[in-house]
Amino acid sequence: MNKTILLKNRPEGKPEISDFEFTNMEKPTIKEGEILLETKYISVDPYLRGRMKDADSYVKPFQLNEPISSGIIAEVIESKNESYQKGDYISGNLEWKQYQASNGDNLLKVDPSLAPLSAYLGILGMTGLTAYFGLTEIGRPKKGETLVVSGAAGAVGSVVGQIGKLLGCRVVGIAGTDEKVEMLKSKFGFDAGINYNESTDMAKDIASATPDGVDIYFDNVGGSISDHVHAQMNRFSRVIVCGAISTYNETSIPMGPRVEQFLIKKSALMQGFLVGNYADQFPEGVKQLATWLKEGKLSYTETVLEGFNQVPEAFIGLFDGKNKGKMIVKA
């Protein structure tokens, strides 16, 4: 038995379980030069929603009736490739299957003695690197500046806020529940937090949480939350456009206020990015994140669903804010 999850339909609006097909495939046998991998942890990420659309993007769309893929930690359970030994653990962009063969290309060995395996999908993986490079390369934080983070209690946002604190910023997080806002302050050291689902006046709440205005806005969500933050930006401020999850399930792109006026009047910078832009600096980024983690200067949290078949549920849960920190499935 080799449980596999395929894309059955291209979701219209918010994805549903019926958009996925649970099937069984043959367990592969490996040829010379290949390894057999057993999936241990699966990362679900908001960007996968974009790959479910049949649209041109920076990565090819998933094909209907084919396995979906994402960041996976797997164990090498058989090897006919001299670069890998049985018992090695790897991280890579792999298919949503319990077992798969690989020629070993584009995989990264991970060391379970240095950090828990799941950390390589989060704080020491793609989302940690997104936080680190987006904030340091585009935000260029300076001591005493005010940093606002949306999607603050998620995998990227929770790390952005902590790095902001390490670099001397005053950090304000925006998240979807009181419990998350409390976690931002008590566990991750944010100075203030706003629950956007409870706020009756976001413009006022953001303004009162940022009495000196906003120097850096790390945006994970887009939409109306961001419109309100833009209104508070200072001169020479930076808006880091990392994600726009509030719009990913829209069937047409919603209109908001035009940004040109505030960018001009405030001489502000607004820049989007893909973490892959910094691929050649990943080793340096992982080293820095691992050092801070070891020194106890960074911490992280995960929401882990148990069981391979929970992958679609975990993915859909991202759009309902079901996760604190990185959303992961333990196979």
Ligand X SMILES: NC(=O)c1ccc[n+]([C@@H]2O[C@H](COP(=O)([O-])OP(=O)(O)OC[C@H]3O[C@@H](n4cnc5c(N)ncnc54)[C@H](OP(=O)(O)O)[C@@H]3O)[C@@H](O)[C@H]2O)c1
Contact with ligand X (CB under 6 A) among 125, 154, 285, 312 = 154
The yes or no reply on residue 162 touching ligand X (CB under 6 A) is: no
Which burial class, exposed, middle or buried, applies to 140 when counting CB atoms under 10 A from its CB (0-12, 13-18, 19+)?
middle
Please report how close the Cβ of residue 150 comes to ligand X at its closest, in angstroms.
7
What 8-state DSSP symbol labels residue 280?
G
Q: What is the distance between the alpha carbons of residues 283 and 129, in angstroms, rounded to a whole number?
A: 10
The yes or no reply on residue 220 touching ligand X (CB under 6 A) is: yes
The yes or no reply on residue 172 touching ligand X (CB under 6 A) is: no
The yes or no reply on residue 48 touching ligand X (CB under 6 A) is: no
Q: What is the distance between the alpha carbons of residues 32 and 37, in angstroms, rounded to a whole number?
A: 15
Amino acid at 152: A
Reference 159, options 192, 205, 208, 126; nearest CA is 126
* Residues near ligand X (CB under 6 A), total: 31
Please report how close the Cβ of residue 180 comes to ligand X at its closest, in angstroms.
6
Nearer to ligand X, 13 or 211 (CB): 13
Nearer to ligand X, 45 or 95 (CB): 45
Nearer to ligand X, 36 or 225 (CB): 225
Q: How many CA atoms lie within 13 Å of 19's alpha carbon, on the beta-carbon side?
A: 19
The yes or no reply on residue 161 touching ligand X (CB under 6 A) is: no
Q: Are 271 and 217 spatial neighbours (Cβ–Cβ below 8 Å)?
A: no
Q: What is the distance between the alpha carbons of residues 22 and 282, in angstroms, rounded to a whole number?
A: 34
Per CB under 6 A, residues contacting ligand X are 45-47, 127, 130, 151, 153-157, 175-177, 180, 220-221, 225, 242-246, 273-275, 318-319, 321, 323, 327
